[in-house]
Amino acid sequence: MQKPKGTYDIYGDKALEMLYFRKLAETLMNKYNAKYFETPIFESSSLFHRGVGETTDIVTKETYDFKDRGNRDLTLRPEGTAGIVRSFIENKLYADSLPLKAWYLGPMFRYERPQSGRFRQFFQFGVEVFGVSSPIMDAEVISMIVNLFGLLGLKGVKVNINTLGDSESRDSYRNALLDYFKPHLNDLCDDCKNRYEKNPLRILDCKVDGEKEIMKSAPKMIDYLNEESKNHFDEVLKYLDEMNIEYVINPKIVRGLDYYTHTVFEVEADIEGFGSQNVLGGGGRYNNLVENIGGPATAGVGFAIGLERLFLALDKEGIDIKELVRPDIYIISMGENYKALSLANMLRLNGFNVEMDYNNRNFKNNFKHADKLMVKFIIIVGEEEVKNGILTIKDNDSKEEYKIKYDDLIDFFDKKIGDNDEDYV
Ligand code: HAM
């Protein structure tokens, strides 16, 4: 038996990355007072048709649709926003005091051609904020991505930002596009001919026609913005400037989903040889989506990043998550297993990550094993150590040796490894 095309198993280093990322995301999200959400992996198909948009590639070509045994039309979620919005409405969360900042992390499903950085089951980390129409939240949401990448030490990233304006601006832009593309209709691919009728903005985003000459002189959204939309965008940029967040205004960013209004952005990997799937994450404002799905008019803004692409970027920059989650201490027991286990227990309760020798390996193999685990310190528990209560500790990086009294151990490791917030005792 083999896994389905475009999927992968998570274990070993991938599992480490995933768990490390989840923890980092949770810690960062707490700093923004964002709340964790989990919504079903499948939803009514109509939610995505209405939410993501009938004419998008995602809905027309990429969804996993099925009927359950009760003949209901269901779809594996291709993205997280529509489900969170459904939950926001169904649970009447709009009645609580807003804003609500929701974050989520989980698998999404799209029937796309698998390649490096593109899967059929992939993981997204995302945030959706409800109840703030001011540009301040567009900027805060962008700061979340930038800070997340900063915490991971990722440097080669570029924030591309654009605006699609409000409905009025979008209508006049739409008309300008219709006029512009009308004489060129025969030069466009079949999908774009269809998009011309239903959603001409999507033509700019076409993977087939996107690079053609006619795209270069197509009308630009920025020239069709009304006063309010222009002000909104200018304000977002001012907030970003004030936070020293660098960005590039890129009129080509239209996004592959229909729900956006005003600000849209994509963060791309700016790393040599990264490959074509270089958009690590994207998002924007969606002021009409809650209402379109049947809730009260509520402003929304959010983003999602693809974890496979993020991990690929870390890899390309030589950032090894294994280095960040090294076990603190490895205990070698020279036959003194009772002492060794109780010592491991005590150290764990004081917040340290401890692994030990359970199989009475010989000295040489123990050191080899400790190296393989990349442990920071080794404690040797032998007869002599038990008798006089002084332990031999080896710094596995510098190879320095220390003799430390049992009672001074925690102090010693707090100083060497860092006091841990997770002490349980
Ligand atoms: P999206 O641009 O469709 O936006 O997806 C966000 C990210 O998910 C992409 O930038 C990419 O990193 C990752 N991704 C998408 N498809 C795949 C795939 N087949 N394989 C691997 N990674 C993939 C959304 O999904 C919106 N819901 C974002 C959002 C939230 N907008 C507002 N709130």
Percent of the chain with pLDDT over 90: 78
Q: Could you tell me how many residues make up the chain?
A: 425
Query: Which atom of ligand 1 is nearest to 58's Cα?
Result: 3
- The pLDDT, as a whole number, for residue 422 is 53
Listed by start position, the domains of the chain span: 12-166+226-316, 327-423
Q: Is the CB of 413 under 6 A from ligand 1?
A: no
Which CATH number is associated with domain 12-166+226-316?
Answer: 3.30.930.10
- The pLDDT, as a whole number, for residue 297 is 97
The DSSP symbol for 58 reads I
Query: Which atom of ligand 1 is nearest to 119's Cα?
Result: 20
- The pLDDT, as a whole number, for residue 425 is 47
Instruction: Tell me the fold of 327-423.
Output: Rossmann fold (3.40.50)
Q: What is the pLDDT of residues 316-329, one digit of tens each?
A: 999 999 888 899 99
Neighbours of 53 (CB within 10 A): 21
User: What's the CA gap between 30 and 323, in Å, rounded?
Assistant: 24
User: What's the CA gap between 334 and 385, in Å, rounded?
Assistant: 10
Q: What is the pLDDT of residues 123-133, one digit of tens each?
A: 999 999 999 99
Q: Is the CB of 7 under 6 A from ligand 1?
A: no
Start-end of H helices in 1-79? 12-31, 45-51, 57
List, for the chain, all residue ranges whose pLDDT scores fall below the cut of 50.
425
Q: Is the CB of 319 under 6 A from ligand 1?
A: no
Strand (E) or helix (H) holding 332: strand 329-333
- The pLDDT, as a whole number, for residue 399 is 95
- The pLDDT, as a whole number, for residue 34 is 98
Ligand 1 centre to CA of 281 (Å) is 6
User: What's the CA gap between 47 and 65, in Å, rounded?
Assistant: 12
Q: What is the pLDDT of residues 375-415, one digit of tens each?
A: 999 999 988 888 899 999 999 999 999 999 999 999 999 99
